[in-house]
Amino acid sequence: MAFEKYLLATALFVSSLVASAAQPSAGLIEVRPDGRRTVFTTERLSRSDHVVAQHAGAQGDAKCCVSLRITGTQKRRTDVSDELKGRQVRAYALPPLKAADAVPFVGGALVFKAGERDSVAAERALLGGAADKTIPQVCTSSEGAHLLQLGSGGEPQAHLYMHFGYDVEPTCDEALLTRLSEAGAPK
């Protein structure tokens, strides 16, 4: 009887790992004027993990997508926070751009753990372009950028916030921001 319980517990654990493997994590990508690129996420990552991220078009608009590898960790920054669950946001270095090619940019990304990469989601993100809803949405409020991700049923999945420290033109849908803020509020 104890052995059957052990097998059941093991089967449930393995099935939960398989289910979670198919779900890439949301990330916020930042490109600095000097070409440094950073991805921010609540996940603990390693150098073998993979990022599919938006990049800046000629006018600084979001274009989809580039495939990048984690090159290392970076010091945690206090200007980026998890507004949905209050988890620690980690920063990871990505391969830099040449300074001449760099356009300052903040956009959405998906993070795939090594060995757990969902090739269908990655391909959909890489090939989907602007119409693809796989990549989390990034918009601005009056002083920063919000990364917003909803699940297939419309439930909040991620809400990261990067404070700029200066005023910008808001582009976020206020109703969506309110909905995500209420979802992240302590009960």
pLDDT digits (tens, 9 = 90+) for 104-149: 999 999 999 887 655 555 555 555 544 456 789 999 999 999 999 9
CA quadruple 66, 71, 73, 74: dihedral sign: negative
The span from the CA of 64 to the CA of 128, in Å, is 7
Position 5 confidence tier, pLDDT thresholds 50, 70, 90: very low
The answer to whether 164 and 143 have CB atoms below 8 angstroms apart is yes
pLDDT digits (tens, 9 = 90+) for 139-157: 999 999 999 998 888 889 9
Position 179 confidence tier, pLDDT thresholds 50, 70, 90: confident
Q: Is 82 left (phi over 0), alpha (psi -120 to 50) or beta?
A: beta
Position 13 confidence tier, pLDDT thresholds 50, 70, 90: very low
CA distances from 14 to 7, 38, 42, 43, 113 (A): 10, 32, 23, 20, 16
Q: What is the pTM of this model?
A: 0.80
